[in-house]
Amino acid sequence: MKIVTNIARAAAAAAGALPRTPSLAGLDLLASAVVMVDAEGRIAFANAAAENMLESSLKALSRQRLCDLFTNPAELEHVIGQARTHKHSDLRQDLTLERVAREPLHVHTIVSALDEPAGAVLLELRETVQQMKLDREERLLDQSQVNKELIRNLAHEIKNPLGGIRGAAQLLEMELPPLHLQNLREYTQVIIKEADRLQTLVDRLLAPHRRPHIVGDVNIHEVLERVRSLIMAEFPAGLRIVRDYDASLPEFRGDKEQLIQTVLNIAHNAAQALSGQIEEGSAQITFKTRVARQVTLAKVRYNLALDLHIIDNGPGIPPQIRDRIFYPLVSGRDGGSGLGLTLAQTFVHQHMGVIECESRPGYTDFRILLPLP
């Protein structure tokens, strides 16, 4: 509502002016398509997202009536008419707009009537799929925040008595009568070993929350080269690591050690999943870097972002855990603790970025997007 009002104000300020004036240039930064139509229904302005959606330039669009772009304009005409007559500040509707020889557009439409110029209407169009994706991302983000809090509290609760349990077992062992020492020591050792195992687990769970976020200039290719040499040292034969780097990527502020840990956890999982191919000699991991433009990460829009892919040709993530791999303690491996990806996600979030995964047999792609200056 507020955004719409601001857009309306900006557009009204430049009403009648077709080219991008400075006050309208800001609209090009929006992910939503924004179109202003005049009293005759002709397009007076379209921002960059609208040009994208309508697959046409502002110059070409400005000669046309918006409703003429679609073969079923009735509903659109109806909402525009309603907005004009009732001066709704914010009229919402989901429409399917059909275009000649193209996919229909499923859009969530917000229509606002402008005071000036008379009869002008501002439309905000958002593809429904895009809206659903945003909603889902937002939900996942909230959920992972709640999960993190839960894990952290739980880890603390487990950690506190652990030292006591271990210490008590040690004392008990010292007090054992020599006669039974041999037999009973086995039990105290179980307690001590399990307490140590839990301690390591809990320390890993708490590590990302405890370590200060050390920020310096990071060159992502240095990070990748470090990980590459670590993986090559562990898997010296049968595994190829392909580098597909965009050398123009700028440095950015971040915590290099955390980023190395992040990429290492992902690449390490890939190498582990590739054990079959490593034996055959066909295993391959690709590190690919690119620049992404105009992306929204965790609800914030950035002009530039690092687009990093870690791709392997392994069997893919087991379908039964595919939706939950970033949750702690979810593992598809014998002996896996299920923390590698949780940590990776936490570190990426600490860098204001997002991490996502696409996987099918023969192709698994972990994608990390991080804002660039």
Ligand X SMILES: Nc1ncnc2c1ncn2[C@@H]1O[C@H](COP(=O)(O)OP(=O)(O)OP(=O)(O)O)[C@@H](O)[C@H]1O
Query: What does 314 bind: ligand X, Mg ion, none (CB cut-off 5 to 8 Å by kind)?
Result: ligand X
Q: Which of 14, 125, 270, 283 binds ligand X (CB under 6 A)?
A: 270
339 touching ligand X, by CB under 6 A: yes
Q: Least Å distance between CB 99 and ligand X?
A: 39
Residues 6 or more apart whose CB falls under 8 angstroms from that of 212 comprise none
202 binds, among ligand X, Mg ion, none (CB under 5 to 8 A by kind): none
Which of 326, 284, 331 shows the shortest CA–CA distance to 143? Answer: 326
- Residues with Cβ < 8 Å from 328, sequence gap 6 or more? 147, 151, 205, 338, 339, 342
> 3-state DSSP call for residue 347?
helix
Smallest gap, in angstroms, from Cβ of residue 223 to ligand X? 18
Nearer to ligand X, 164 or 319 (CB): 319
∠ CA 249-255-258, rounded to 5° = 105
Residues of span 265-284 touching Mg ion by CB under 5 A: 269
Strand partners, 7: none
**312 scored as a contact of ligand X (CB under 6 A):** yes
Comparing CB distances to ligand X, the nearer of 37 and 344 is 344
Which residue in the set 273, 308, 370, 372 belongs to the binding site for ligand X (CB under 6 A)? 273
Q: Does 318 bind ligand X (CB under 6 A)?
A: yes
Q: How many CB atoms lie within 10 A of CB 357?
A: 15
Number of residues counted as binding Mg ion (CB under 5 A): 2
Asked if 261 is part of the footprint of Mg ion (rule: CB under 5 A), the reply reads: no
Q: How far apart are CA 133 and CA 34, in angstroms?
A: 19
Indicate whether 325 belongs to the interface with ligand X (CB under 6 A).
Answer: yes
Q: For the CA atoms of 50, 51, 52, 53, what is the dihedral angle to 10 degrees?
A: 50
Residue at token pair 């999982």: 269
Residue 261 interacts with ligand X (CB under 6 A): yes or no: no
Q: Is 269 in the site for ligand X (CB under 6 A)?
A: yes
Please identify which residue in 208, 254, 314, 340 interacts with Mg ion, judged by CB under 5 A: 340
Smallest separation, CB 191 to ligand X (Å): 24
User: Is 314 near ligand X (CB under 6 A)?
Assistant: yes
**Among 340, 348, 368, 372, which residue interacts with ligand X (rule: CB under 6 A)?**
340
Q: Does 276 bind ligand X (CB under 6 A)?
A: no
Cβ proximity to ligand X: between 344 and 372 the closer is: 344
Question: Which own/partner pairs from 136-139 qualify as long-range (CB within 8 Å, at least 24 positions apart)?
Answer: 137/354, 138/299
**Shortest distance, CB of residue 332 to ligand X, whole angstroms?**
2
Q: Residue 317 binds which one of ligand X, Mg ion, none, with CB within 5 to 8 A depending on kind?
A: ligand X
For residue 309, give both structure tokens.
């892919």
Rounded to 5 degrees, φ, ψ at 166 are: -65, -45
Instruction: List the single partner that 270 binds among Mg ion, ligand X, none, CB under 5 to 8 Å by kind.
Output: ligand X
Please give the structure tokens belonging to residue 372: 């660039």
- For residue 364, state whether it binds Mg ion (rule: CB under 5 A): no
Instruction: Tell me how far, at minimum, the Cβ of 321 lies from ligand X, in Å.
Output: 6
Residue 71 burial by Cβ neighbours in a 10 Å radius (0-12, 13-18, 19+): exposed
Binding status of residue 341 toward ligand X by CB under 6 A: yes
Instruction: Report strand pairing: 43-46 vs 91-97.
Output: unpaired
Evaluated on CA atoms 296, 300, 305, 309, the torsion sign reads: negative
Residues forming contacts to Mg ion in the complex (CB under 5 A) are 269, 340
Residues forming contacts to ligand X in the complex (CB under 6 A) are 265, 269-270, 273, 312, 314, 316-318, 325, 330-333, 336-342, 364
